[in-house]
Amino acid sequence: MIYDVIVIGAGSMGIATGYNLAKAGKNVLMLDAFNPPHEEGSHHGETRIIRFAYGEGASYVPFVKRAGELWKELEALTDEALFLQTGVMNVGEETHTFIQNVKKSARLYDLALEQYSAAEAMEKWPGLSLPENFVACFEPTAGVLRVEACIRAYKKLALEAGATLHTNEKVQNIKAGEIVSVQTANNIYEAKHLVVTAGAWATELLQTVDITIPVTPTRKTFAWFEADEHLYHEDIFPAYCFEFADSAYYGFPSIDGAGLKLGRHDGGDGINPNDPLRPFDEQDAIDLQNFINRFMPQHGALKFGKPCKYSMTPDEDFIIDFLPEHQNIVIAAGFSGHGFKFSSAVGEVLADLTLNGKSKHVLSLFKLSRFKTH
């Protein structure tokens, strides 16, 4: 049989795409090397920040606003609580580009943003300790997505809408053409259209069609610390992004009594995504411990940490585009550690590109042609 669309990778981006395509009445096959949600890619660890006053650049704001609408829609459709409105504070020196962008995004798009000096922020959140020259830009309508629950919700809707999902079936090879064929260990599948949403494996997979995308799979870690619930509970303390001249950290209040969660955004080692990730180790712990001792000093002991995969592009902007010379293959990759919040909107965009050849969103920031691919 020839499917209308095959989606390779049913993780954050792929499962939302599969749902949108099936909802449009298409005959969709989603293939995943594991069984999403799982801990092998980029979508585990309970929580992801969603913020609208975007520090990475104001041009992301319309896209993330649409994503926010679609998360609300997903909650309504599945009767699941997926978004937690904790607010998000963006912290750093006032002159830092990220902080400037947060303010610019809020100004341009009329987003609620409260600005606090270090002293004011420490009064509002007594669990916080900031140097005098830092500011906190607090976005009260931002918050946290329950990442695995979001994926489960899209999975349920996609299957109900008639999509087929084959789990634990890794695609080894893609053959482009008017009819695209994809090969797994035991099967060959054919479709009129292909969507590649393979996360940290996108680079190796696209090499099978002679395209080299500059997406580097990278090992990252995050950890949970015991927290005084009077200071750090989700109703009291917000999610946070800290920007320094040479590093960036992000994290979460204690949600469901889990403790303070913290990760470092910059850096990390390039990896082969097929190798087992080096477990969370002493050096990872020291780095996070140094941060939390300084800025949330009333935390308790480290509980545990985990490794995870980022897919980094050189400019940290995403790739969402057709494959050069193959208008029936669309790819979405290189989400560079800030993609999850967008995945509801990415699913809509990928379905539109596949079915209509275009999207109502401005995608110029995400063009593959900004890189050399051969």
**Residues binding ligand FAD (CB under 6 A):** 8-14, 31-34, 36, 40-43, 45, 48-49, 170-171, 197-199, 201, 205, 220, 222, 250, 263, 308-311, 335, 337-341
Our CB check for ligand FAD shows the closer of 48 and 146 to be 48
Residues near 186 by beta carbon (within 8 Å), at least 6 away in sequence: none
Residue 324 buriedness (CB in 10 A; 0-12 / 13-18 / 19+): middle
- Residue 265 Cβ vs ligand FAD, minimum distance, rounded to whole Å: 8
Residue 98 buriedness (CB in 10 A; 0-12 / 13-18 / 19+): buried
Our CB check for ligand FAD shows the closer of 172 and 293 to be 172
Dist CA 92 CA 274 (whole Å): 36
Tokens of 167: 């789990």
Our CB check for ligand FAD shows the closer of 120 and 223 to be 223
- Which position has the token pair 């889990």? 258
Residues near 289 by beta carbon (within 8 Å), at least 6 away in sequence: 302
Backbone angles phi, psi at 86, to 5 degrees: -85, -15
Dist CA 4 CA 137 (whole Å): 46
- Residue 189 Cβ vs ligand FAD, minimum distance, rounded to whole Å: 11
> Are 64 and 41 a contacting pair, CB within 8 Å?
no
Q: Is 79 left (phi over 0), alpha (psi -120 to 50) or beta?
A: left
Dist CA 51 CA 89 (whole Å): 9
Determine the 3-state secondary structure of 357 from DSSP.
coil
Tokens of 328: 């029936």
Our CB check for ligand FAD shows the closer of 20 and 197 to be 197
Determine the 3-state secondary structure of 191 from DSSP.
strand
- Residue 357 Cβ vs ligand FAD, minimum distance, rounded to whole Å: 22
- Residue 117 Cβ vs ligand FAD, minimum distance, rounded to whole Å: 26
Our CB check for ligand FAD shows the closer of 36 and 127 to be 36
Our CB check for ligand FAD shows the closer of 118 and 159 to be 159
Our CB check for ligand FAD shows the closer of 122 and 285 to be 285
β partners of residue 224: 261, 304
Enzyme catalytic residues? 44, 47-48, 261, 265, 308, 341
- Residue 286 Cβ vs ligand FAD, minimum distance, rounded to whole Å: 18
β partners of residue 88: 139, 239
Closest-by-Cβ residue to ligand FAD is 11
Dist CA 311 CA 199 (whole Å): 7
- Residue 82 Cβ vs ligand FAD, minimum distance, rounded to whole Å: 13
Tokens of 291: 């941060």
- Residue 40 Cβ vs ligand FAD, minimum distance, rounded to whole Å: 6
Backbone angles phi, psi at 235, to 5 degrees: -80, -10
